[in-house]
Structures are given as structure tokens and as C-alpha cells.
Amino acid sequence: MYLRTGGPGAHRLFNLTLSIRMTPRSLSAISLLFIYLFGSIAYAAPADDRPTRIRIGALMPLTGEFAMPASAFREGIELALEHVNATGGINGQRLEVLIEDTRSDPKTIASIASKFVHLDKVIAAITTSYPETEIGGGIFQAAKIPSLALWDSSPQIDSMGDYVFAIGPWTPSDAEVSAGFAIKQLKSRKAVVLNTVEHWSELVADLFEKEFSEHGGSVVGRFKHNPGESDFRTILSRVRALNPEVIYAPLASDVLAFHKQRRDAGIVIPVISSGIISDEHVRQGGVILEGVFQSQIADPSRTETQELARLYKSKFGRDLSMAWYVATGFDSVNLYASALRKVGASSERIKDYLYSIQDFPGAAQSITISPGGSSPYLVNMFKIENGTFKRVM
């Protein structure tokens, strides 16, 4: 799920100046910052009442449209946390991750983030979706507490502040790889783009349209769908009338409903997605996802991912599903644990340590943090064949 995203991070969200352009989005973000700045008194705790355990706060949409990936992130966090504490914790101290459900609601995100800062005294934070990174990350930035976004990386996330980090897929790479594959491998010149009305989905769709056009293609139709609206029949009828050669559909929700209705409508041209379709979708959807292409980081054949699968089955008693999400949650805790063991429980020193990360052996990917705060690794192209993801580029 376009949260997601070093050098470009010259403009920092909370380095406000009189020249800032006041858009509805920025006004909303600033109003939520005021919740943090002026509502903090409600969460104040005595200076000598700090918890003895080292605490990290995690913001996750555990209910609603994004509950399935959020739950997978949580499982990865729990798996890593168990391993860290079983091997001595943080120099003898127990590590604790406080996970709270944001319900993808901006006010709830701001309230929980402020609670983490003022009441729970977290030393670091984890965010998942883009709204949690924008709102919660902004509150953590103001408090000088590092936060780590899991869902994606992008120049937009890089610009949020020097305490805001991201280890998800580099969003521009999804668009570049998908557009290049459509042009060069599929030999397509006419595309239709369908995205969800959601930040990441809209961003990656915009970037695909730009890349596809710059490489000689033409986007003959662009359609948008609201999360939770699972009837795609009208859109599909309009798609058929445009006679495209490829569909780019980085849907953030209702994935199975779209692909079932697409097959029912007899639309058999190539479809490309980016990062959203998981092995759990494939398991649930069966044949309806056969032949779909997807740009993604996750590679089930990676040694570290296979080792994670073994640990996962040992803890949860079932085979690993939604591997990339579990792996990224797992990596976030291990990154923080590595930092805490080496530089201690100081938010500033943890921030500085994260910028020094080079080739950290993550379960999802090898992680190197750029000067902007992201881990901007390029994605690869996979095809769903016989219920598995097979790399094709």
C-alpha cells in the first residue's frame, strides 16, 4: 500500500517559512500539527515516570481497507520482536513495540502519534500507509523522534524531514519499470490506466502515464475508483470501447473484484500491477490472477525470505503468506534493534545511525539508507503463473 518516498529531501515539511504554498493538503497537515503542539499537555507525564522498557510506537490501519497488509506488517514486527528479546534484548533491556490501530483516520493518527510521544515516551516509531507517514511522521519529526515508513519510499516522503525514513519500494521505480516493460517487452503503444483514489495509487499512475508517453506510448484512457466500490463493470465497458493493448492497474483495494470482473468481461489483454498483489491474493483468487504482471521488490526465491518463511512457520504454525509485508515489518524492528544496540536509546543517535546504514541484510531486501532517508531500490517484473510469482525482468 503509495506511501511511498537520498538527496532530494531539501524541503522539509516542518521547516515552515512564509513562502510555503498553502494548499488544502498542507492546511490539513498544519492543523493536525497544532493538535500535537497544543494538545500535548493532555498527554504529559511526570519526568520520573518514564517506562523502564525501551518502547517503539507503531501506527497501523488494522481495520478497514488495508487491514490485511497491516496485519502482515504486524506479524513481521512480532516475529522480529520475539527474536530480539530472546537473544538478550537491547543490552539487557526488553524491547517493546506498541501497536495501535489508526483506522486510516487522520484525527486518530494524530492522536495516537501524540500519545506515543508524550505519554508512552517512545524512542522511535513505525508508520505504514502514506497518511500515517505524512501526519504521524510530521508529529514525530517535530518531536525529533525517528519514524520508519514501511509501505513505500518516494521523493515526497524524503521531503518530510530528517527524522522521517522509509524502506518500502521506490515509487518512481514501479512506474518506470512497468512503463518500460509495457513498451519494450509487451510491444504495447496504447494503454489504459486505472487507479484507486488514494495517494500512492494516484502517484504511481501519474508517473506511469508520464513514462509511457515519454517512451512513445499513448494513454488513451484514465479511470479512477474509490476504495470499497467493488463494481467495475461500467469502467470495464469503457475500457473495452477504447481497445487498449495493455492495462496498468495499481489498485490499492478491491483487487480480486476487479480481476474477476475483468475476466468475466472477456478482457484478456495484458494487465500490469505494482506491488499490491500478494501471495495471499493469489491463493484466494486462484485462476483469476493467472497471467497478471506485477512490478515488485519481493522475490520468494531470495535466501533471506526463505529463512523468514521458516521462522514464520515455527511461530505461527502455518506457511508464510504476504511475504513482503511480513518481511518489511520484520526488517523495521531489526533495524531499530541494531541501532539501539550500537548507539543506545537516544532518538538523535538512532537517526544518525540510520543514515549510516549500508547493505543491511534485510529479509525483504538489502537496505541502504540514502541521504534523503529512503532505501530507493529498483523493483523487478514478475508474472503470476501456476499460482506463483515468476520473475520475467
The CATH number that applies at residue 141 is 3.40.50.2300
Quick one: 309 and 253 in the same domain?
Answer: no
Quick one: 107 and 187 in the same domain?
Answer: no
Whether residue 373 contacts residue 355, with contact meaning beta carbons closer than 8 Å, is answered with: yes
Q: Quote the pLDDT of residue 158.
A: 95
Quick one: 181 and 256 in the same domain?
Answer: yes
Q: Quote the pLDDT of residue 70.
A: 94
Quick one: 210 and 313 in the same domain?
Answer: no
Assigned domain for 300 exists = no
Alpha helices in the chain (DSSP H): 24-39, 67-86, 106-118, 130-131, 137-142, 155-158, 171-184, 199-214, 233-242, 255-264, 279-285, 303-316, 323-343, 347-355
* Domain coverage including residue 220: 172-274
Alpha helices in 149-232 (DSSP H): 155-158, 171-184, 199-214
| Count of domains forming the chain | 2
Quick one: 41 and 163 in the same domain?
Answer: yes
Quick one: 311 and 164 in the same domain?
Answer: yes
CA atoms of 324 and 126, how far apart (whole Å): 16
Assigned domain for 196 exists = yes
Per-residue pLDDT of the chain (393 residues), as tens digits, is 333 333 333 333 333 333 333 344 443 444 444 444 444 434 444 443 444 689 999 999 999 888 999 999 999 999 999 999 999 999 999 999 999 999 999 999 999 999 999 999 999 999 998 899 999 999 999 999 999 999 889 999 999 999 999 998 889 999 999 999 999 999 999 999 999 999 899 999 999 999 999 999 999 999 999 988 999 999 999 999 999 999 999 998 899 999 999 999 999 999 999 988 988 899 999 999 999 999 998 777 778 888 999 999 999 999 998 888 999 999 999 999 999 999 999 999 999 999 999 999 999 888 999 999 999 877 899 999 999 999 998
Assigned domain for 86 exists = yes
Assigned domain for 139 exists = yes
Assigned domain for 293 exists = no
Q: Quote the pLDDT of residue 265.
A: 96
Assigned domain for 373 exists = no
What pTM does this model have?
0.79
Quick one: 105 and 240 in the same domain?
Answer: no
Closest to 128 (Cα-Cα) out of 111, 152, 155 = 152
Assigned domain for 15 exists = no
Q: How many CB atoms lie within 10 A of CB 19?
A: 5
Quick one: 196 and 128 in the same domain?
Answer: no
Quick one: 163 and 181 in the same domain?
Answer: no
